[in-house]
Chain A
Amino acid sequence: MRDWLTKADMLLLLFVTGLVVWLYVAIWGADTAALEVEIWSRRERVQTLPLAEDRLLSVAGVLGDSHIEIKHAEARFVDSPCSNKLCVLHGALRHAGETTACLPNQVSLRILGRDPRYDAINF
């Protein structure tokens, strides 16, 4: 074996193997993970935020501000100026492709993965 596989060849093989592992993790590893939440208001995509960073934010809709919480890699409406609070009752989103909305305020959330696991959610 030593006759045809030099130290440089070993290094090359090691490099190729390492490259394959690194590329797999870097390119495909996070594909099914919910990475970001898109926030829409009145047909506009107003913000795209990482789910990994906890925060509370206010988004202006047609009736007033919707309050959205990002915590533990989930996003939810915590309050909104609607009468029925269906958006708050809907609870947290965590899977790529999931959506929820405060219809009266025209504010909606959608979870994005790098390659969305689902293109839409049926309910």
Chain B
Amino acid sequence: MPRYLHYFAVLVVAFLISACSRPQPGVQEQQFVAFGTLISVTLYAVDEQQAQRAFQELEAYFNQLHHDWHAWEPSPLVELNQALATQGAAEVPAVILPLITPAQRLSIASGGLFNPAMGGLFALWGFQSDDPPHTPPADAEINSLLAQHPSMADLQLNGTTLRTTNPAVKLDFGAFAKGYAAQLGCKRLQQLGIDNAIVAVAGDIHVIGNRGERAWRVGVRHPRTPGIIASTELHDGESISTSGDYERYFDVDNIRYHHLLDPRTGYPARGAISVTVINNDGATADASASALFIAGVEHWAEVAKAMGVDQVMLIDIEGEAHLTPAMAARLRIEGDPAPELYIQELP
């Protein structure tokens, strides 16, 4: 055997052994209950001490946001709603002010399908409670509320003063608060000098940086069976949100009543079972996932266009997946059996 082949063999073995050594990437993980839900945070390239400080800071931060934005327990938001209902005007607390304009913009863009002014409807259905409801409300109660047409367009914000002429307006930011909070959590981590993180507030996820040499990987839960229907990589500054009929619901006579209420009918929206949206803005991803779920198979594409989102997957009641080209290009379908795929251009 020529001498150089010996050297070559030794080099190959040395290379293989070094390539197989497991890197120590400095991944720090934490789970905690805050914001009324389970929060999972993974940090990359930070030491344990820095991570522990960040986890404590985040937990306190999310608990504060939860208190500030709570829609039915004593909170600044509940006080704001009371003032709007009784006086028609109120000073908006600083902790709520940043929510008003994006909520109004997204609601109007969605044609009112995302309607955070309809807190009264969520309350009527019993979804403003820690325990799931057991029966739907009476038609008369729903119709009475719908007749008052509470909407975000009823609100005028001048400086820090919010006014409305519609006493039925009752703000509930539940349909976009988690997506927004996940992004705020990442922002807070950046202020602490952490540049690589994935923050999941329940299922709403925002990422910054990456996980070492690879992007953060996210699985999208299958809406009907245990496991994953699809997966994707998220890049710096991206959010992913899913709205599904399996999150909060109750069944009566084999009919599922879920929390994604159609503001036009007052009843749970039918046609979709989950909608997933990826966007650079956490609030937009979360709000549009809810709005597109309500828009359903027929109209989701036009609402997506109006809300400025182009990465969407809707699973319909037949289990078939409707995707925008941009979502289809990045999503890896993993469901078994794989759903039928329909690619739909936005109008």
Contact = CB atoms under 8 A, between A and B. Distances in A.
A119 B42 contact: yes
A51 interface: no
Given A40-B31, A99-B31, A122 B36 contact: no
Nearest to A24: B20
Interface residues of B, number: 48
B131 A118 contact: no
A64 interface: no
Nearest to A22: B20
B329 interface: no
Given A9-B1, A120-B205, A94 B226 contact: yes
A4 B217 CA distance: 49
B13 A19 contact: yes
Interface in B215-229: 216-221, 226-228
Given A43-B32, A106-B33, A92 B40 contact: no
A98 B241 CA distance: 16
Interface string B277-321: 000000000000000000000000000000000000000000000
A116 B203 CA distance: 17
A37 B5 CA distance: 47
A91 B37 CA distance: 17
B216 A119 contact: yes
B276 interface: yes
A103 interface: yes
A122 B9 contact: no
Nearest to B21: A27
B228 A121 contact: yes
Given A106-B33, A108-B31, A123-B242, A118 B20 contact: no
A16 B12 contact: yes
Q: Interface residue tally of chain A, by bracket? A: 35 or more
Given A23-B20, A95-B227, A118 B218 contact: yes
A92 to B, nearest CB: 6
Contact of B132 (A5, A84, A106): A84
SS of B interface (majority): strand
B218 A43 contact: no
Given A94-B227, A95-B228, A103-B37, A122 B1 contact: no
B220 A123 contact: yes
B202 interface: yes
Nearest to B220: A122
Nearest to A116: B217
Interface string B19-52: 0101000000011110011101010000000000
A4 B33 contact: no
B199 to A, nearest CB: 8
Contact of B40 (A6, A16, A104, A110): A110
B170 interface: no
B216 A16 contact: no
B247 interface: yes
A119 B217 contact: yes
B198 interface: yes
Contacts of B276: 122
A83 B131 CA distance: 7
B2 interface: yes
B282 to A, nearest CB: 12
B17 to A, nearest CB: 8
A91 B226 CA distance: 7
Contacts of A99: 31, 38, 40
Contacts of A110: 31, 40
Which 8 pairs show the lowest CB-CB distances between chains A and B?
A: A123-B203, A123-B221, A118-B219, A101-B38, A120-B200, A23-B20, A9-B1, A40-B31
Given A43-B30, A95-B219, A118-B228, 10 more contacts: A20-B16, A23-B17, A84-B131, A103-B38, A108-B31, A110-B40, A117-B231, A120-B40, A122-B220, A123-B202
21 contacts: A4-B1, A12-B9, A16-B16, A19-B16, A43-B31, A86-B132, A91-B226, A92-B226, A93-B226, A99-B40, A100-B38, A103-B36, A118-B231, A120-B219, A121-B220, A122-B203, A122-B219, A122-B221, A122-B242, A123-B203, A123-B220
Interface of A: 4-6, 9, 12-13, 16, 19-20, 23, 27, 40, 43, 83-84, 86, 91-95, 97-101, 103-104, 106, 108, 110, 116-123
